[in-house]
Amino acid sequence: MRKKPKKNKYQNINQKSFFFEDYLETNKKNKFSHKNNFYQDRIYLLFFLFFSLIFIFSIRITYVSLNKIEIFDQEHTQKQFSLLRRDIVDRNGVLISRNIKSFHAAVNPSLIKNKDNFLINLRLNFPELQIKKIEKKLAERKYFYLKKRITLEDKEKLWRMGEKGIIFEPFQSRIYTHANLFSHIIGQVDYDNYGVSGIEKYFDKELKDKRKANQPLQLTLDTNLQYVIDEELNKALSTFNATGGGSLLMDVETGEILSLVSLPNFDINVRAEVKEKKYMNKITKGVYELGSIFKTFTIALALENKLVEPETIIENIPRSIVCSKYKISDIKEFPKDLSVEDILIRSSNVGTLLIARKVGEKRFKKFIYDTKLLESPELQLEEVGKPIKFNWNKCKLETVSFGHGITTTPLQATTIYSSLVNGGTIIKPILIKNNFSKENKKIISKKTSDRINNILRKVVTDDEGTASQADIDGFYVGGKTGTSQNYKDKNQNLNTFISVFPSQKPKYALLVMLENPQVAKNLIYDYRGMKIKGTRNEAGWNSVYVSGKIIKKIGPILAIKSKEFNYQNVTKKFN
């Protein structure tokens, strides 16, 4: 018989085992501890991730701040896509033309979910589009172009529509940073990046040469000068109610064209065919009778061949001369006796005619041949004019001597003036920088050139001169006016002034011409210290006036008052 175990007096019958109780408490505590550790691990993980992000962003910010990001750099741009055409820049490196990445907007109808909503959005954002045609194309379910050559604004509008069916096709577009400013020189390219006019066409092969992709084509033009002259010439068209105009600024030593403006012009960023005659390049392609500027050629030939001196008196100059069926006379009455230089200063037709007879037809023909006056100008443009041919019949020498009955381009006339005043050396006009080459051929001697410069200065400064409005202090301007009429329509006239400056040693030649200018009745002129209203419609009262305005503004840019000119000596010479 087994003995019953003794009961502990401290043990309650209903009490659970001490060890069991201890086990339960311990187990409970372990569960709580495990849950607490889990939350702590999550906090540590989040803290680590947050700290990592801060660290990554700090490294990125430091990298960006210490490195130059060439987002808009040409070199960076070329890494993105291969340029199809080189840049065009002016003489100072200012950008004129460049290829950029552009887009066409096309539509894939199969990707358009709700065609009705799509058409409504198009109508709201692009009211100029023909919605019915687009609706028809959507029904055909064929890929089509919604809009070609879209702007950034258009691209953003289309993108905001959120349609997967709108496809942006990338292509290279040619942009012109100055729009109208160089329209007659730069020209345009077609949609396939082939040059169709101007510099773009003439140098098409060179501009597409991938070996020179990083070398821009640098022109002789100066954007600052172009802007100033264009602005003044536009003002002149308004002031004198002219139908058109043009100007040309040339370096008389190198033939470099610093500015060429023809008005009206057009925005070459708009790919539109320009056919109207008024948009023709009047400086290189326009062919005109330029009038009295030819008188300088006649006087230069007479001096060069030692037939006269500047002080030689031409006596008994008649009021008019009948030559064949023509009657040649002067606009106003001059003294019967005039010196050779006075004939040019006062611009006498009859006096010039008498000097031309001394020169003779043979010498005049040779001058025209040597200067290529009746040939198309040699220039890096295809838009050049060809003077009208004529026969040396009766009275041709007499009329040619003062610029009637003979045509040429403003470019050729300015080039000849440059050659006459630079010491007599023939130059060629150029548009590409560092591409000039002097011909050693001379049309007159340096002695004759100096005499011509002296007379041209007096045309501006003398009381009887025709170009006093161009006498701008400090610039020593010389030049010759030309006023001509269309022999078919007397209401059409062309007023021209070719100036050279500084006269003691000419560096620049500036031509300004206005087509069909009218009298500026409300314009107040400062005429030799007097304030007078406009009453006359001659070159001296419009083209000369405009030239003076231009020279006053471009003079500082050209640094006329540089050390290379000794102005004290000049003042002594001309005063």
pTM: 0.80
The pLDDT value recorded for residue 490 is 66
Q: Is residue 106 predicted with pLDDT exceeding 50?
A: yes
**First-to-last CA distance in the chain?**
160
The pLDDT value recorded for residue 573 is 44
Q: Is residue 505 predicted with pLDDT exceeding 70?
A: yes
Per mean pLDDT, which of 127-141, 168-182, 349-363 is the most reliable?
Answer: 349-363
The pLDDT value recorded for residue 71 is 41
Range scoring the smallest mean pLDDT among 77-86, 106-115, 535-544: 77-86
The pLDDT value recorded for residue 271 is 67
SS3 of 297-330: HHHHHHHHCCCCCCCCEECCCCCEEEECCEEEEC
Higher pLDDT, 34 or 168: 168
Distance CA 330, CA 310 (A): 21
Percent of the chain with pLDDT over 90: 66
Q: 503, 454 in Cβ contact below 8 A?
A: yes
pLDDT tens by residue, 456-482: 999 999 999 999 999 999 899 999 999
pLDDT tens by residue, 253-303: 999 999 999 999 999 988 667 778 889 999 999 999 999 999 999 999 999
The pLDDT value recorded for residue 570 is 43
The pLDDT value recorded for residue 45 is 78
Left if phi > 0, otherwise alpha if psi is -120 to 50, otherwise beta: which for 225?
A: alpha
- How far is CA 324 from its chain centroid? 47
Strands 326-329 and 320-323: antiparallel
Average pLDDT along the chain: 86
User: With bands split at pLDDT 50, 70 and 90, how would you rate the model's confidence at 433?
Assistant: very high
pLDDT tens by residue, 79-100: 456 788 999 999 999 999 999 8
Average pLDDT over residues 70-77: 42
Q: Is residue 568 predicted with pLDDT exceeding 50?
A: no
The pLDDT value recorded for residue 302 is 98
pLDDT tens by residue, 144-200: 999 888 888 999 999 999 899 999 999 888 999 999 999 999 999 988 889 999 999
- Please list the residues that pair with 479 across neighbouring strands: 499
The pLDDT value recorded for residue 310 is 97
The pLDDT value recorded for residue 324 is 82
The pLDDT value recorded for residue 20 is 41
Strands 88-89 and 95-107: antiparallel
Phi, psi of 23 (to 5 degrees): -65, -45
User: With bands split at pLDDT 50, 70 and 90, how would you rate the model's confidence at 451?
Assistant: very high
The pLDDT value recorded for residue 252 is 96
Left if phi > 0, otherwise alpha if psi is -120 to 50, otherwise beta: which for 149?
A: left
Residue (of 275, 288, 285) closest to 384 by Cα position: 285
Strands 217-218 and 88-89: parallel
Helix or strand or coil: residue 335? coil
Helices (H) and strands (E) in the chain, counts: 18, 16
Q: Is residue 74 predicted with pLDDT exceeding 90?
A: no
Q: 125, 118 in Cβ contact below 8 A?
A: no
Q: Is residue 519 predicted with pLDDT exceeding 50?
A: yes
Give the type of residue at 287.
V
pLDDT tens by residue, 383-428: 999 999 888 888 899 999 999 989 999 999 999 999 999 999 999 9
The pLDDT value recorded for residue 108 is 93
Q: What are the angstrom distances between the C-alpha of 379 and each of 67, 371, 385, 431? A: 46, 15, 11, 7
Residues sharing a CB contact under 8 Å with residue 327, sequence separation 6 or more, in sequence order: 320, 321
For CA atoms 233, 238, 241, 244, give the dihedral sign. positive
Range scoring the smallest mean pLDDT among 2-11, 264-273, 301-310, 488-497: 2-11
User: With bands split at pLDDT 50, 70 and 90, how would you rate the model's confidence at 61?
Assistant: confident
User: With bands split at pLDDT 50, 70 and 90, how would you rate the model's confidence at 528?
Assistant: confident
Q: Is residue 5 predicted with pLDDT exceeding 60?
A: no
Q: 527, 540 in Cβ contact below 8 A?
A: no
The pLDDT value recorded for residue 551 is 96
Average pLDDT over residues 306-333: 92
Q: 281, 383 in Cβ contact below 8 A?
A: yes
State the CB neighbour count (10 A cutoff) for residue 406: 19
Give the type of residue at 296.
T
Q: Is residue 10 predicted with pLDDT exceeding 50?
A: no
pLDDT tens by residue, 47-60: 778 778 888 888 87
Range scoring the smallest mean pLDDT among 164-173, 198-207, 350-359, 511-520: 164-173
